[in-house]
A and B are shown apart, each in its own frame.
Chain A
Amino acid sequence: MSFEEPHWGSIAVGTPGADFEPRPASSAWYRPDTVADGWATDDLIVRLAAVRGYAHRYEGLPRQDDAAAVHHPVTGSVVFAIADGVSSTPLAHIGATAACRAAVTAVLSGLDDDGRARWPDVVERAAWQVVRQAGLVLGLDSPDPERAERQMATTLITGLVRPCPDGPNVELVRIGDGGAWILHDGGFRTLFEPAATPLVPSEVTALPRVPEVVTRGGVLTAGDVLVVGTDGIAEPLGDGSGSVGAYLAERLAVPRPPLTFAHDVDFSRETFDDDRTLLAIWPRQRSRTDTRG
């Protein structure tokens, strides 16, 4: 029996990319190919996946995206963060993880204090976490923000969805690229203005730098899905009018099991080989036959 045939088994969207067994990631810290998560509160259903891109699988680099999603029981909020480590920085994967955990911790802390998130503070804390993490990893005596920027810069989208009488309220902020959309009836309505550049940008704003932070959001109505993704999703999705939009709209129509969700995110489409992170949140329709306590 031969084991040499390609087995990755991704779903092709349009022309698929190359099919191959990934090379191991050459990182001193173990970092798995995929993170998959999913759970539901009384009001919201959450699915999350961060997937190593085909380029990093081919080159033997680790997944540089990361994500986190947690529940705040008192307010019923789902708090989330997704991050895309800047590939020119060698420890980008650590920056992405540090930024996500710090953002989520800071949002929870604000919700505990007075029931709201102060987004400029959240972003500042995430930035400082990247600086402190770089100091730990490099064994520095004192924090060095410029060195941290060279070692582990990362983008970040962080936010929350809070159940309210008028429907789940979304608030989120972005540093760098990636996007957030409300998916409704197969169409993607973007929460961030698209970049008006003729070329795909190669420079990105990233922590530990912080721009002026602008909060986006809205209220989810029945049939809406909040979709948040790193650039690995935003780039192939574009304005949602093409094959990737149609594919994701179909796969996100209902919440699927987390491993299926992650497999869906790991679609194969030629030239789109960046790490991908996708978070999806559905308002929960409770039926009379729902057996959850």
Chain B
Amino acid sequence: MTAAPKATLLPVYVLADESQSMGAHLLDLNRGLAELHEALLGQPMAAAKVRFSIIGFADDVRERMRLADLRRTDHLPGLISRGRTNYAEVFADLRHRLHADVGSLKQEGFAVYRPAVFMLTDGQPNDNAWRTPYRELIDRDSTPEAPNIIAFGVGSVRADVILRLATRPEFAFVALAGIDVGSAIARFCTALTHSIIHSVRARGPGAPRLVVQQPDGFEMAIDVV
């Protein structure tokens, strides 16, 4: 934890598939990102917490925007169609990028939430070589900054791949049209940032036990209802 944080930030990454199979959907994605920008600007508390990065990937990985404060950003950079789909490259890049980015935000005096990654893709990678770098990326033991990944399938979607990319089943979506993608990401983003949802630690080694029976001599202190 940062000693006395200036603010608490959520790093958000849009991983956009720029491969040629994505085709006309890039136009929709670009529009969707613009909508996301608008939506966040209308939510001042959410916008204050987010540092926004856009990573385009195809054969290689191109950083289009890094850790931007959207309140000070006029417009988002466009995505550019090219090449074929290489997931392995982008997951390996992301693992190093998250480590570096979280480190630099903490050095600047911020406390940092677990990063959120919105991956926009048609779920048609070249090969299966991505599984190992993906597993390393999301393994919290080997990657302390392991992100939550929300996967959006667009275009000619392979839904089974989208499900494998999302870090929870409820984080997997298939978009009907590019416009849906923009508003869906915007809704998700603002929900994520309004209040970082706390969940109860119930699983894993050392999980505390659930109290299942009435203690001796227990008396109800109040009836709230």
Residues of A within 8 A of B (CB): 14-15, 17-18, 29, 54-56, 58-59, 61, 86-89, 94, 97-98, 101-102, 104-106, 121, 124-125, 127-129, 131-133, 136-137, 143, 145-146, 149, 153, 175, 194-200, 202-212, 235-245, 269-274
Contacts and interface: CB of A to CB of B under 8 A. Distances in A.
Most buried by B among A97, A202, A241: A202
A239 B3 contact: yes
B198 A102 contact: no
B208 A210 contact: yes
Interface of B: 1-9, 44-45, 48-49, 102, 106, 111-114, 144-145, 194-202, 207-215, 218-225
Given A55-B195, A105-B219, A273 B214 contact: no
Given A88-B200, A243-B4, A145 B210 contact: yes
Counting chain A CB atoms within 10 Å of each CB, the highest count among B2, B45, B221 belongs to B221
Most buried by B among A18, A137, A210, A238: A238
Nearest to A89: B200
B34 to A, nearest CB: 23
A98 B114 CA distance: 31
B198 A87 contact: yes
A271 B208 contact: no
Contacts of A127: 211
Contact of B200 (A55, A143, A203, A245): A203
A245 B113 CA distance: 22
Given A238-B3, A242-B3, A137 B225 contact: yes
B1 A271 contact: no
B170 to A, nearest CB: 13
Contact of B5 (A97, A137, A199, A242): A242
A18 B223 contact: no
Contact of A153 (B1, B200, B222): B200
Contacts of B224: 29, 94, 97-98, 133, 136-137
A273 B49 CA distance: 10
Contacts of A239: 3-4
A199 B201 CA distance: 16
11 contacts: A14-B6, A17-B45, A105-B219, A124-B215, A125-B215, A198-B112, A209-B207, A209-B210, A242-B3, A269-B7, A274-B195
B48 A238 contact: no
Contacts of A241: 3-4
Contacts of A54: 45
B48 A270 contact: yes
A199 B112 contact: yes
A215 to B, nearest CB: 17
B215 A200 contact: no
Contacts of A15: 7
B4 A197 contact: no
Contacts of A104: 221
A59 B211 contact: no
Nearest to B191: A59
B212 A145 contact: yes
Most chain A C-beta atoms within 10 Å of own C-beta, residue among B195, B214, B222: B195
